[in-house]
């Protein structure tokens, strides 16, 4: 049987020091033939139901009368001798130490491992604390990570501008709010001002960043449920953008590459290895808008099923759009390096990247004796034909679609262009994306464009992505 411990009083515990209990340990070591002087001294304090409660005394440092003292409980758990820390003395009093010892012994008697219980409780506290993250703190952290991952020379200026937009328009509304408590109504208030002021591009940029910040919050477990910045919900909570009614149904046609020049144009960009040319190529093959192509992400590319899932926040009309990828688009993607989340670089290329590259290709074609890439139907104030633009390539696709209308009905090309039916009744019921019917149409379009490149048949290389 173990030696009976006489319970100590508060006064006795208070007087215990390293020097007073060291002798007991020296004698104990001597009996066990252990060398050296103990650096830590222990004294059992006893107490009913608190067997194993011990005061641990450390050697005093210079100018100290008493060294540091703390409580430990020596107890057998599943046949193993364990030492559990109960706190420092006198912060934890003798009475409280005995109370803790009794609680732990009761847990062990009920088959509960106190160490595992303590770890779980700590993890729950930390998880609860981590969920109390303010939106502005998460936003600043998100922007800092973007800055670090980008590495581009002009990234700091661009990202700083976007952060300032959040500070100006969103932080006053939701900056101090806990991320996990935000609702779609809160997000609507955070983007309302630039929309009401008619700053469409600023509104889009602010909303896009909030969407991605909330996606990060969901990934970190700070927010549960659907993204509250989803455009499909926000559009019902926000005012009609200024100028929208004036332009709805009256699209502005941008200078386009003539259909007769499309194959010659594709041959020119295929031989250009710049990122601007790759971007134009991808946009042409998918009939997408420049902004959609610029913001394409690897995570949205399903290479197995050959689909580009364009999220709602990147679409003009705020509705997610699936684009069937022709073989040539998949082949193009396989040649691009992975530099981050975006397909065309660590961050989306600027709006001018593709436009400038197209103008350069036009100029180079003329210098080489070619006709350039003019749109005779679009003229400037002097009556001169304008140079084609990246956005105008969608018109080129539409002209081709009209030329094969006997094979592919007009509805398919309209869906491919993600146009909204101006008839609100038809639009409300037109939910079918006709993806598989559009697939051969996009394949034929790509075959038409690439005819002069000698790549009518391609060997597709798997590149990973959502479906990989």
Domain CATH code at residue 405: 1.10.443.10
| 230 lies in the same domain as 91 | no
User: Are the C-beta atoms of residues 243 and 257 closer than 8 Å to each other?
Assistant: no
List the structure tokens of 71: 């409580």
In angstroms, the Cα distances linking 158 to 147, 152, 434 are 9, 10, 38
Residue 125 lies in a domain: no
Q: Model confidence over 72-92: pLDDT tens digits?
A: 888 888 778 888 888 888 888
Residue 436 lies in a domain: yes
Residue 1 lies in a domain: no
Exposure of 16 in the CB half-sphere (CA atoms within 13 A): 27
User: Are the C-beta atoms of residues 293 and 332 closer than 8 Å to each other?
Assistant: no
Domain boundary among 195, 220, 247: 247
Q: How far apart are CA 265 and CA 261, in angstroms?
A: 6
| Strand, coil or helix: 302 | strand
| 383 lies in the same domain as 410 | yes
| 228 lies in the same domain as 376 | no
Threshold 0.85, pTM exceeds: no
| 224 lies in the same domain as 327 | no
pLDDT at position 156, please? 73
Overall domain count for the chain? 3
Maximal C-alpha separation, the chain = 110
pLDDT at position 331, please? 94
Q: How far apart are CA 403 and CA 7, in angstroms?
A: 100
Residue range of the domain that includes 402: 259-453
| 385 lies in the same domain as 420 | yes
User: Are the C-beta atoms of residues 376 and 369 closer than 8 Å to each other?
Assistant: no
Q: Is the peptide bond before 233 cis (omega within 30 degrees of 0)?
A: no
pLDDT at position 1, please? 43
pLDDT at position 275, please? 92
| 238 lies in the same domain as 272 | no
CA-closest candidate to residue 163, choices 122, 113, 99, 213: 213
Domain CATH code at residue 39: 3.30.160.390
pLDDT at position 305, please? 93
| 194 lies in the same domain as 300 | no
Q: Model confidence over 93-136: pLDDT tens digits?
A: 888 999 988 888 888 888 888 877 778 777 666 666 656 889 99
* Alpha carbon of residue 462 to chain centroid: 24
pLDDT at position 198, please? 81
- What phi and psi, each to the nearest 5 degrees, are found at residue 60? -70, 140
pLDDT at position 127, please? 62
Q: How far apart are CA 235 and CA 230, in angstroms?
A: 9
| 301 lies in the same domain as 324 | yes
Residues lower than pLDDT 70 in the chain: 1-4, 17-39, 63-66, 123-131, 149-155, 240-252, 317-318, 421-432, 454-468
| 242 lies in the same domain as 263 | no
Q: Give kind and range of the element (H or E) at residue 428.
A: helix 424-429
| 277 lies in the same domain as 425 | yes
pLDDT at position 21, please? 55
Domain boundary among 214, 247, 280: 247
3 state SS for 321-382:
EEEECCHHHHHHHHCCCCCCCECCECCCCCHHHHHHHHHHHHHHHHHCCCCCCEEEEEECCC
| Sheet strand arrangement including 41-44 | 41-44, 53-57, 69-77, 80-89
Task: Please name the residues in contact with 48: beta carbons below 8 A apart, sequence gap of 6 or more.
Answer: 7
């Amino acid at each position: 049987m173990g030696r009976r411990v006489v319970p100590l009083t508060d006064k006795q515990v208070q007087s215990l020091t390293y020097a007073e209990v060291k002798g007991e340990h020296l004698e104990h070591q001597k009996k066990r033939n252990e060398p050296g002087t103990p650096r830590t001294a222990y004294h059992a304090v006893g107490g009913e139901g608190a067997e194993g409660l011990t005061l641990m005394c450390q050697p005093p440092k210079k100018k100290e009368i008493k060294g540091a003292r703390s409580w430990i409980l020596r107890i057998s758990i599943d046949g193993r001798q364990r030492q559990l820390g109960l706190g420092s003395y006198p912060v934890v009093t003798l009475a409280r130490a005995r109370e803790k010892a009794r609680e732990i012994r009761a847990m062990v008697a009920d088959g509960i491992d106190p160490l595992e219980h303590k770890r779980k409780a700590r993890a729950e506290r930390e998880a609860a604390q981590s969920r109390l993250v303010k939106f502005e703190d998460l936003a600043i952290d998100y922007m800092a990570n973007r800055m670090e991952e980008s590495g581009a020379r002009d990234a700091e200026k661009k990202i700083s501008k976007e952060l300032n937009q959040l500070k100006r328009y969103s932080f006053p509304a939701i900056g101090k709010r806990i991320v996990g408590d935000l609702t779609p109504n809160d997000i609507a208030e955070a983007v309302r001002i630039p929309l009401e002021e008619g700053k469409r591009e600023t509104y889009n940029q602010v909303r896009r960043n909030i969407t991605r910040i909330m996606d990060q919050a969901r990934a970190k477990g700070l927010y549960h449920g659907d993204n509250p910045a989803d455009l499909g919900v926000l559009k019902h909570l926000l005012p009609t953008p200024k100028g929208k009614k004036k332009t709805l149904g009256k699209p502005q046609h941008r200078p386009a590459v003539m259909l007769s020049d499309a194959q010659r144009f594709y041959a020119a960009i295929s031989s250009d290895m710049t990122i601007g040319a790759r971007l134009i190529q991808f946009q042409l093959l998918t009939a997408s808008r420049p902004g959609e192509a610029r913001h394409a992400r690897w995570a949205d590319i399903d290479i197995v099923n050959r689909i580009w899932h364009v999220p709602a926040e990147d679409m003009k009309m705020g509705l997610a759009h699936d684009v069937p990828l022709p073989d040539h688009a998949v082949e193009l993607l396989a040649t691009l390096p992975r530099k981050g989340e975006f397909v065309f670089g660590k961050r989306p290329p600027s709006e001018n990247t593709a436009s400038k590259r197209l103008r350069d290709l036009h100029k180079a074609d003329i210098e080489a004796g070619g006709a350039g890439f003019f749109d005779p139907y679009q003229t400037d104030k002097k009556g001169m034909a304008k140079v084609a633009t990246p956005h105008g390539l969608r018109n080129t696709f539409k002209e081709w679609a009209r030329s094969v209308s006997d094979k592919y009905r007009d509805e398919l090309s309209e869906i491919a262009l993600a146009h909204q039916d101006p008839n609100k009744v038809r639009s409300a019921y037109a939910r079918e994306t006709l993806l598989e019917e559009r697939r051969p149409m996009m394949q034929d379009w790509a075959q038409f464009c690439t005819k002069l490149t000698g790549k009518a048949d391609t060997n597709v290389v798997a590149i990973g992505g959502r479906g990989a």
